[in-house]
Amino acid sequence: MKKILQLSLAFLMLGSQLAFAQTEKKDVNLRDLWTNYTLYPKTVHGIVSLNNGKQYTEIKNGSIVVYDYATGDSVTTLVNGKDLIPAGKKKPIHIGNFSVNKQETEFIFPTQTEKIYRHSRISYDYIWNTQTKKLTPLSDKGKQRLADFSPDGTKVAFVRNNNIFIKDLKTGKEKQITFDGKKNNIINGTCDWVYEEEFSFTKAFFWSPDGKKIAFYHFNESKVRQYTLPFYHKNSPYPEEYTYKYPVAGENNSIVQIYTYDLATGKTVKMDVGSNTNQYIPRVKWTTQPNSLAIERLNRLQNHLDILVANASTGASKIIYTENNKYYIDITDDLTFLPDGKHFLMTSEKGGYNAIYLCSTDGKKEKQLTKGDWDVTQVYGYNPERKLVYFQAAKTSPLDRDILAVNLRGKIRRISTHTGTNDGNFSRSFDYYINTWSNANTPPYITVNNYNGKVIRVLQDNKAFIKKMQGLNLSKQEFFTLQSPEFKLPNGKQVALNAWIIKPPHFNPNKKYPVLMYVYGGPGIQTVNNSWGWSNYFWFQMLAEKGIIVISVDNRGTGARGELFKKMTYLQLGKYEIADQIEAARLIGKFPYVDSTRIGIFGWSYGGFMASLAITRGADVFSTAVAVAPVTNWRYYDNIYTERYMRTPKENPEGYDANSPLKYVNDIKGHYLLVFGSGDDNVHPINSMRMISALVSANKQFNLMVYPNKNHSIYGGNTRYHLYTKMTDFILKYLK
């Protein structure tokens, strides 16, 4: 009897342990994040509105399926992926992305795509005709870039070897229209490195609305200095050298001209963009008038903007808009010409906050449509029937993003209803939009909405992923503010800094915890957003599970808080940003549950610059720093980005050197991990090499990790898992 009782008790105890095991939550691990990739919510791919504005495409199971916005019904399969088998092959090509002609009868599918830089790619493109069911190569003369249908769908223009070609889809003939393209010398129809990186575009040719002309950029980069990166290959004892044009601060840029090509006459005409070649042409766009080309012209200091309208046949141009700024002017894609041919929309910060303006093309009238102490962050477009401009803004809070509409009289209404971050993908008719919403603790929730914001149905709710999250040992990411007399604007106004915090899951307010601060800190960029944080969210949760509080603070100079807050760092990048991070760390160190002797910081790129400043200039506050791919002196970075905020080294030598971490390496007291990729075409390895030399000269010990051949993003194969393991181990060793 006693033995039976003991067995019964044993089974009861085992049962309770099993029940506990079933409810016990798991910790996040790096394998799931960077090897198994199981910690990524679902998104929706291939959403493209059809011309009728009532239907859209979505990539489903390798095919392009058409859905009805209103009903959600699957209308038809526009392209069956199984049919896309090239001649002589047995397997179909993969649909990753695509473009479609306006007639919606032919598609371009890029294959065997290779990455060049951040935005640029080169591919073998295929044309799929939905009527003939034929798949044909766009060209058999080498890979192509930026393939684009003509408005009537009969031709495709593309770039190869720095020249522009036109393929006639009816005759199959391929015609070359520029002939001077040469690597590291002349570029037609696409961008040089610095335009691609800093003006964020790579397609630099544009069909006219009537399809009779092509406008294109011509870059002469012969006077731009070269930079060489060595690449180390497994089967060679010698590195391969990759050389490209990279203009650092103060150095020569490409000379940029704009041309038009007339398909009927074969004539090429240069547009008049002025006699000064030491300038930028950050945007070119056809107006709603077929022969009228808008050209944005920006001076080298980037504080004077002209919008020109050029006659595409003669090249003659006139200025229709001019703007000056005592700091700098940010370039966007918000320029929109209205169908009446007499007005255009644009955004500007000239009123103190980024706002939408309605301007006349004769340059005589201007009206500010959005007003208030908040920034417009994106313009989605203009609906001529309702006379409404649809846009995104940080109207509710700098942390959030709302979707709104404003009419041409300036009356605004909010369309999105969820607090957090909303982003809209509107139909061609603006009758519907796909809304992607998230907040700091909720993965993307994707819905179809009508133009008034009403949810019609849910495309992706990520319920399964949320359930998976509920099984993990996660803490809520919470927002708070920090206040100090140090946080002032140039006009004397006191401001609070926005921040978020992730505490350990079993947080004990009576215990002292170490802190890791996450920073970017660069002009206009926020890390404190009420939006889904993707991979870093789970890495920070993993660190919290191991007993480290993770905090991020948006310093002065970051975005969505008006022009003065953002631009007060002008001419002295790093000065106010690091002062804010140091003061924030001091304030955080006074929290009753924080161990002020164990405060670390992590940052990548500009954040690496900040982390390097923190462990040097902030050595009395920060005990540990992880700097990935850091700039260490702005003299080594590209001129478009750097001079926008700093002017040239000749004009502002003190601004460049006074806030460089190289100057303060003697002050290091704590532990410093420096990481970079040897193939970084963006923040060159010279930044880290100079930091290493300075540290050695100062006899300062540090930790170093170099990833051979890896670029600024440091990824590929096992790389990210290795990197995050390295950083985690370092943080736990020296901070925990």
pLDDT, one tens digit per residue, over 350-373 is 999 999 999 999 999 999 999 999
Label each residue of 675-690 as H, E or C.
EEECCCCCCCCHHHHH
Q: Which strands sit side by side in the sheet containing 121-129, from one edge to the other?
A: 99-100, 106-115, 121-129, 134-137
Distance CA 584, CA 497 (A): 9
pLDDT tens-place string over residues 524-547 = 999 999 999 999 999 999 999 999
Q: Which residue has the tokens 């099993």?
A: 18
Question: Both ends of the chain: CA-CA distance in Å?
Answer: 52
Determine contact, residues 632/661, Cβ cutoff 8 Å: yes
Neighbours of 153 (CB within 10 A): 16
Question: Running DSSP on this structure, what letter comes out for residue 638?
Answer: B
Residue 18 is predicted with a pLDDT of 34
pLDDT in tens, 634-677: 999 999 999 999 999 999 999 999 999 999 999 999 999 999 99
**Quick one: which of 106, 285, 155 has its CA closest to 208?**
285
pLDDT tens-digit map of 151-160: 999 999 999 9
- CA 13, 18, 22, 28: dihedral to nearest 10 degrees? 100
pTM, whole model, 2 decimals?
A: 0.95
Strand order in the sheet with 455-460: 421-426, 432-439, 442-450, 455-460
pLDDT for res 6:
36
Phi, psi (degrees; rounded to nearest 5) at 192: -75, 175
Q: How far apart are CA 113 and CA 312, in angstroms?
A: 34
Residue 505, amino acid = P
3-state secondary structure 132-189: CCEEEECCCCCCEEEEEECCCCCEEEEEECCEEEEEECCCCCEEECCCCCECCCEEEC
Q: Which residues face 705 on adjacent strands?
A: 675
Mean pLDDT of 79-97: 95
Write down the pLDDT at residue 523.
98
pLDDT value, residue 23: 63
At residue 254, the pLDDT reads 98
pLDDT of 176-192, one tens digit each? 999 999 999 999 999 99
**The pLDDT of residue 290:** 83
- Host H or E run for residue 2: helix 2-23
By three-state DSSP, how is residue 31 classified? helix
Say what the pLDDT of residue 161 is: 98
| Ordered structural domains, the chain, with CATH | 78-176 (no CATH), 178-331 (2.140.10.30), 476-734 (3.40.50.1820)
Would the pLDDT of 9 be above 60? no
Contact 175, 236 (CB under 8 A): no
**What contacts 16, CB < 8 A, 6 or more positions away?**
none
**Which of 730, 729, 724 minimizes the C-alpha distance to 37?**
724
Q: Percentage of the chain with pLDDT > 70?
A: 97
- Label residue 24 by pLDDT band (50, 70, 90): confident
Task: Tell me which residue has tokens 């957003």.
Answer: 529
Chain position carrying tokens 């509710």: 396
213-220 and 186-188 strand pairing: antiparallel
Hey, what are 513's tokens?
């915890």
Tracing tokens 């720093």 back to the chain, one arrives at 625
Phi and psi at 81, nearest 5°, equal: -55, -30
Residue 103 has pLDDT above 50, yes or no: yes
Average pLDDT over all residues of the chain: 95
Per-residue pLDDT tens for 238-294? Answer: 999 999 999 999 999 999 999 999 999 999 999 999 999 999 999 999 999 889 999
Residue type (1 letter), 589: G
Helices assigned H by DSSP within 573-648: 575-589, 606-616, 639-646
Residues whose CB falls within 8 Å of the CB of residue 359, separated by 6 or more in sequence, listed in order: 320, 321, 343, 344, 345, 346, 365, 366, 367
Query: Helix 534-545 to helix 719-734 angle, to the nearest 10 degrees?
Result: 30
Using DSSP bridges, classify how beta strands 106-115 and 255-262 pair: parallel, antiparallel or unpaired: unpaired
